[in-house]
Structure 1
Amino acid sequence: MESDRPSSAGPARATYRPPGLRGLPLRFVVPNVVTLLALCAGLTAIRFAVEAKFESAVLAILVAAVLDGIDGRIARALKGSSRFGAELDSLADFIDFGVAPGLLLFFWSLHDLKTVGWAAVLIFAIAAALRLARFNVMIDDPDKPAWMGRFFTGMPAPAGAIVVLLPLYLHLSFDLPESRALTLVEALYVVVVAGLMVSRIPHYSGKTIGRVPREAFVFVLFAVAAILILLASFPLQMLIGVSLLYLAMIPFSVRAFRRLSEQDAAQNAGTSPPPADGAA
């Protein structure tokens, strides 16, 4: 009679390996490491804000914004995009561009308004969270026209973090006098930027920028080098210019979005699109 026990002379048992412990290609790891570096920069900005090192905190948020701008490009270049990376990026963005700028402004001046100042910080942080959640939902929309990839719906969180700190840049650059009335204006400005983030106002997106034309390569390289030199030499003044330029571009992005939307609607209806701006 044969025994039901397995024979000790049988083949060796396969080593059990829990799911998820298999090796991951390096192309999936590198973009997530960049995202974690951006998160570290955002958390470091909070530390600098607590220590009243406001200029260092601004630079840390700027570093986080730069890293956030390249982690997605690295993932696409390496074909290492993943759902895990997208979720990690959203969580890091909330800390970097929702929590850190708000706390920086509160520790700098909004604490003088007590509850009102804290309410402005909360509104900004909530707006950043809602903006990121909406982005995650809309990115999976299969019916979105290709031309809409040239725009963001609402001010993106990294841009909101840079723009909302404009009052701080002005104070640190020009040593403006402090007053309760001015602080109230700053709190109102924070709420306005929060409103732009959760609004449906279109903003130009830089994610569609592809290859640089060969004939423009030298010019682009020179422009990038000049911007980096100016940013390193006059960081706050450059951030003032960038913030004002970004705000000034909003009407142009709205106009371009409406024109493309009308052309798309006309094409879908089978009619000729409206003439371009300036056409007879």
Structure 2
Amino acid sequence: MIPNAITAMALCMGLTGVRFAIGAEWEKALAAIIIAGILDGMDGRIARLLRAQSKFGAELDSLSDNIAFGTAPALIIFLWSLQAAPRFGWTAALALAVCCALRLARFNARMDAAEQPHKSAGFNTGVPAPAGAGLAFVPIYLWLITGRPIFQDWPLVMAWTIFIAALMISSLPTYSWTSIRIRREWRLFALAGVALFGAALLTAPWITLLALSCVYLLMIPSALASYARVRRRRAIPRLPA
């Protein structure tokens, strides 16, 4: 019950973001999606901790991700900017929602596959749904930080939305939590960094999220290089002892 309840809360927060967007309360709309992302990161770990993993929970999590990080962000971006486009504004918003659904379907289809090169090496295939939703909001972060209407112009927002949708269904290897290894001597610094990030998120949320999005995008080439090194190591035949 506990992990499934958290997943249901994430779904509700995603839809609540749409409700705030309808009322043009953009900061609250983005905050609802961010809370949904935090809840999404908790439910699976709590399920493993409590040994409460189930097929029902996996299916509910996938449906919740599709709504909270695909449908809801697409509607928020459409109401914020893309509805001003004379043509294809709704199509661009649909691209984000559809690509999120396709990515989740691909993930579910490969869940029981015997050979998963990216997953076995500790990488994701494409940008995950929560990260994709956060990246799609980059123009809104810039608009909230600067107040400049140029970041709300539909041509810029449309191009960015389609770009993020393409990243979600791409076959690019991206870092996952399992690929992060922190050396023992750096763990205290990592904990301090997490605490500072939490404080920055509360005091300057949009600047912090913008910086986090930039760091994530810059890490994609690094993930490509890291995965290439893993493939080269695997290609070297092992000699007998």
- Residue 36 of structure 1: aligned partner: 8
Task: Please say which structure displays the higher CA radius of gyration.
Answer: 1
* Correspondence 1:69-108 to 2 at 5 A: 69-108=41-80
Higher helix proportion: 2
For residues 153-206 of structure 1, the C-alpha deviation after alignment (integer angstroms, 9 at most, x for no partner) is 0111110000011001001110113488x4212101100110111110110001
For structure 2, which runs of at least 5 residues remain unmatched after alignment? none
Choose which of 137, 140, 143 in structure 2 pairs with 1:165: 137
Quote the offset at 1:141 in angstroms: 1.6
Structure 1 position 218 matched with structure 2 position 188? yes
Give the SS at the match of 2:113.
coil
Structure 1 position 195 matched with structure 2 position 166? yes
Structure with higher RCO (Cα < 8 A, 6+ apart)? 2
Fraction of identical pairs, as percent: 43
Give the SS at the match of 1:143.
coil
Quote the offset at 1:228 in angstroms: 0.6
- Are the structure 2 counterparts of residues 88 and 240 from structure 1 closer, same or farther at C-alpha, using a change threshold of 3 Å? same
Aligned residue pairs total: 240
* Correspondence 1:20-169 to 2 at 5 A: 29-144=1-116, 148-169=120-141
Q: TM-score, normalised by structure 2?
A: 0.93
* Correspondence 1:261-272 to 2 at 5 A: 261-267=231-237, 270=238
Quote the offset at 1:144 in angstroms: 3.0
Quote the offset at 1:259 in angstroms: 1.1
* Equivalent position amino acid for 1:92 in 2: S
For residues 202-261 of structure 1, the C-alpha deviation after alignment (integer angstroms, 9 at most, x for no partner) is 100014558x77655533332221111100000000011011111111100011111101
2:235, 2:56 → 1: CA distance? Answer: 36
For structure 1, which runs of at least 5 residues remain unmatched after alignment? 1-28, 272-280
Q: Is the 8 A contact 2:14 2:67 kept in 1?
A: yes
Give the SS at the match of 2:71.
helix
- Are the structure 2 counterparts of residues 149 and 73 from structure 1 closer, same or farther at C-alpha, using a change threshold of 3 Å? farther
Q: Is the 8 A contact 2:82 2:90 kept in 1?
A: yes
- Are the structure 2 counterparts of residues 207 and 44 from structure 1 closer, same or farther at C-alpha, using a change threshold of 3 Å? farther
Q: CA RMSD in A?
A: 2.1
1:208, 1:253 → 2: CA distance? Answer: 10
